Structure 1
Amino acid sequence: MTSLEAAPGFRLPAISTPVRRIGRRTFDFDRQIAVMAIVNRTPDSFYDQGATFALDRAVEAAVAAASAGADWVDIGGVKFAPGPELSAVEEAGRVVPVVEALAQQSDVVISVDTFRPEVAEAAIAAGASVINDTTGLADPRLADVVATSDATLVVTHSLAAPRQPVPRPHYDDIGGEVAEFLRGRVDFALERGIPEERLIVDPGHDLNKSTVQTLELTRRLAEFTTLGLPVLAAVSNKDFIGESLEREKPERLAGSIAAATVCAMLGARIVRMHAVRESVDAMRMVEAVLGWREPANPVHNL
């Protein structure tokens, strides 16, 4: 039985190259939803406020995420929001040792959240196989670094220059405008030499967007699958969840799982999440319901 037969009414996204080798793992995005774990080696991170800033804590968290079933681990050295300036040397000094340690202990896909070409180059040399750029190639040199490697690039929608706010962001048609932006950035990446099978797009939940705008973006997520690339949904514990439910960050797990599930059903093929085990279970359950994964122990009523 195919996935479409098992789930009538579910529209499978038309991904041009669904089977991909990323790092040391192979993904079939026609039948798989990958879970990206988050490790922030920053003293002022959005969610954990520096809990994994120390090198040993960051490595421990990354290895634990892989052991809990994460398909890949995203390592960041600078938060997206405005804050103290950090040089490329300092940022690389935060993320590269974590990449090196994790690569030695696991075959999990390793991505680095950066917009700086110097950091990306050092991270790839250390073992990273994905560069997660939340600025939509604000620095075009980043595309050149990825193009001359085997790494995959995540192209994300955001309006501002790196780490700069956009007061009261306005969109006349958020779905159309975000799709147009991503299409333009993807075309630019292709022109720079990055093959289509090494590109992923992220509509940028909450990035220069209000809660109402992000909710509409989520409802319209299927529109971004028309680009023919895997869509990443980074929804975990974000403000649109907190403001929708009136919940502080420690109380947003249920909302995060619900948002990730909605995104997966609308076509997202990677979800970026803090709570690894719960998120892995949720996505594996989605796969089982859609007929992509056999039940682990189907003995009920036999």
Structure 2
Amino acid sequence: MSAREAEEFESFRPRLFSLAYRLLGSAAEAEDAVQDAYLRWHAADRAAIETPAAWLTRVVTNLCHNRMASARVRREAYVGPWLPEPVMTEGARLGPMESAEQREAVSMAMLLLLERLTPAERAAFVLREAFGHSHREIAAVLEISEAGAQQLYHRARERVAEGRPRFRATRAEGRAIAERFLRAAAVGDLRSLESLLAADVAAWADGGGKSTAARRVIVGAAKVARYLGSWVENGAAEIGVAIGEVNGQPALYGVAEGRLLGVMVLEITDGLVSTVRTVVNPDKLVHMSARLRSQGPSTVSR
């Protein structure tokens, strides 16, 4: 492979990662899929590839299709609630995040909704909604008829519509609420913490059986406030905590001795925290840990 061909692939890498992550909900598996696509690009007859972007999109989608089937089997045996792997979105890793719709598209809530779809439905939905492909282009990627692609997309859209998130907080509002949330949690002020929570707030925790985490969803403002308060009492107050944007939403992440210990993503609706999703499974923190290390220690504050 020539240097020019390698550079051409690298120009597509961010978009391919963004596609693979939306299909898989795992940054690690998305990286693997993109790397496998690179190997296929390296071995391919370049003269036979008319449109590199379309060819690579088809390759990555097919690679992810195979992974989605096996991932679903693994998740059936997963210990406790399963959550997508967190990805920082303050850069351009998953594409532009200027609008609420763009942030919604990569939110944990949306990725969990996409888990309801078949691999083909998910691919059709992501290619159409996130990347603006026509039904004809989707049909070429999935190697089906245009009518079949259209049917897949509409079926996926209907299945997602019922629980589709509608975030109303701006970035500035979300960060302000996250800052108040952190201050209240840090000092164990349960009354102030509870005032920031919606009455039916739900707290999910993904430890994957590898880190201590609640294995059932906790529902209700008072219960969630007490749960978060006990988390602080058990040592979280000694961890360096930073506020950032993860999966398009305000988030808190804790670091001790340079190691990322957990990520808490806050879903905000009508000025209140409606869902708290915490990932402490160390396997799911590898990608974000690498991103934080690349940014240096200034990203973490006590």
Structure-2-length-normalised TM-score: 0.28
Q: TM-score when scaled to structure 1? A: 0.28
**Structure showing greater Rg:** 2
Kindly indicate which of the two structures has a greater share of residues assigned to helix.
Answer: 2
